[in-house]
Amino acid sequence: MKQPKDKIFHLKEAEINAALNQEYRQYFIGDLKKPQILDYIEQGDFEIGTSLYQTAKADVPHMHDQTSEILYILQGTYKIFIMDIMQEYTLNKGDFFVLPPRTAYASKALAQTQVLFVKTGGNDKLAVSIPPEVQRWMECD
């Protein structure tokens, strides 16, 4: 349920964990197009959320047109493959990482990885074509 952004808003750990047990990605703030389990603050120019990968999983490669994506690894191991330069980064618990706008990337998480994400410009995700070498990268580990 959408919550007004001018009111005090509080989500408890138990609520967040219960929602993440049903759906691996939950938003706390954003301009959401899909329904979600948690209450959230509707705000068009800013997103904050978390993903909990209980099993290993690769996300669909994409980029953000105007948004920086900021990641903080809460637990586990998260891998990012920057498609323009064909370089992999391995992020572990406590690591902080910023993807600038228009950076095409693929990502995958090992089991029991949790990531906090912040997007500074809102929901501007763009699909990218997936070269064969990126597809192979997504399938291994």
Domain boundaries, the chain: 2-139
The pLDDT of residue 62 is above 80:
yes
pLDDT score, position 1: 74
- The domain 2-139: what is its CATH number? 2.60.120.10
pLDDT tens digits for 79-133?
999 999 999 999 999 999 999 999 999 999 999 999 999 998 877 889 999 999 9
DSSP single-letter state for residue 16: H
Tokens of 56: 């290993």
Q: How many other CB atoms are there within 10 angstroms of residue 141's CB atom? A: 11
Cα 91 to Cα 78: distance, rounded to the nearest angstrom: 5
Q: Looking at residues 55-83, what average pLDDT do you find?
A: 96
The pLDDT of residue 20 is above 80:
yes
Q: Looking at residues 69-73, what average pLDDT do you find?
A: 97
User: Of all residues in the chain, what percent carry a pLDDT higher than 70?
Assistant: 99
